[in-house]
Amino acid sequence: MNLQHYSPKNPNKAIATGALVTTVGIATFGWLTSRYGWPIYLELGSHFQLQYFILSLVALVVLVFSRWQRFVWIGIFCSAVLAVQVLPWYLPPARFVPQPSSNLRVLVSNLHNHNRQFDRVLDFVRQEHPDFAVFIEVNHPWSEQLDTLRDILPYRFSSETFESRGVVIYGKQEPIDPQLKWFGNQQTASIVSQLEVEGRRLSIVATHPLPPVKFWRFQSRNQHLDRLGEYVQTLTQTTLVLGDLNVTMWSPYYKQLIQRTGLKNARQGFGILPSWPTQNTFNKLPRQIAWLFSIPIDHCLLSPEIQVTNVRTGPDVGSDHRPLVVDLRVAPSQNS
């Protein structure tokens, strides 16, 4: 390719300059928000790194066709800055062993309290047949519907109230010592429990911080994540944290949680897997618009010794979230 140097007489000057400003701007904003986005508005901007990366590639294509060599190299650098935020999630971890058999399937689903597509959710759960399931935003109608799953998931434990933010766990085996715990706002009870797999005792935390759409909710979510991290640090057993955390992997608050606890994200090696929003968000958001703004806020965080064999998001089940299904391999206890 014969790239030309900058010339003020180039007829593509306005387009190329606009593309350059765009790619430099979004790369700078994306990098800063993922590291220094402590104020609410900056932090909210940290969640769209995938979108920033795609925009930078579009701008780079424009720069390439403009044939301005210096601008192209700047565009490549900016895209590389954003690629570092996104592409590592598609790379397998260092100790990855391909396709081992799983012995634990977990399912996480934020149902959305106004969703009445009961059959979609119930059919999906029966199709996936999880060993352990976490349901979020469970109210009274949903509680009654979910109980029809007791033939395949006979054991259940829930938060005490179902106004709109109930958390419920279902399992094939009875949870060990299940309790309610509050990491932040009193509206958001979490469930802490234990589960035995292959003779190994796992600590389970099912949780749902408030969405950071207002400043007080932003503070509540951050306090929730902070106290969650403190609690996980006290656990001596292999740990799973499951739920809609209302934060992506690029937020400084998420990074602080991971650094404090040493947990890993089940997504590593399987991609970004956005889970929110869907076209059911904001009064039937068009599918194309929902896809453009989709971000990964539903998570399975786990101790490094657990191997992830597969992760995927489920179909549209009428909620503003897609379910998350994770297949895990838990090594047998040496004492079993």
Per-position pLDDT tens, the chain of length 336 = 444 454 555 556 788 899 999 999 999 999 999 988 778 888 999 999 999 999 999 999 999 988 788 899 999 999 999 999 999 999 987 666 665 789 999 999 999 989 999 999 999 999 999 999 999 999 999 999 999 999 999 999 998 665 667 899 999 999 999 999 999 877 789 999 999 999 999 999 999 999 999 999 999 999 999 999 999 999 999 999 999 999 999 999 999 999 999 999 999 999 999 999 998 776 666 666 767 889 999 999 999 999 999 999 999 999 999 999 999 999 987 775
Structural domain includes residue 43: yes
Q: How many domains does one find in the chain?
A: 2
- Same domain for 178 and 36, yes or no, is no
Structural domain includes residue 334: no
- Same domain for 30 and 144, yes or no, is no
Under a CB-based contact definition with an 8 Å cutoff, are residues 314 and 326 in contact?
no
The amino acid at residue 175 is P
- Same domain for 68 and 156, yes or no, is no
- Same domain for 115 and 76, yes or no, is no
Kindly report each contact of residues 211-216 with a partner whose C-beta sits within 8 Å and lies 24 or more positions away, as own/partner: 211/246, 212/40, 212/43, 212/44, 212/246, 212/247, 215/40
Taking the C-alpha atoms of residue 22 and residue 286, their distance in angstroms, rounded to an integer, is: 26
Q: 308: which strand partners?
A: 328
List Cα–Cα distances, 268 to 198, 309, 322, in angstroms.
Answer: 24, 11, 18
Structural domain includes residue 2: no
The model's pTM is: 0.92
Structural domain includes residue 111: yes
Which letter does DSSP use for residue 186 in this model?
Answer: T
Structural domain includes residue 3: no
- Same domain for 258 and 125, yes or no, is yes
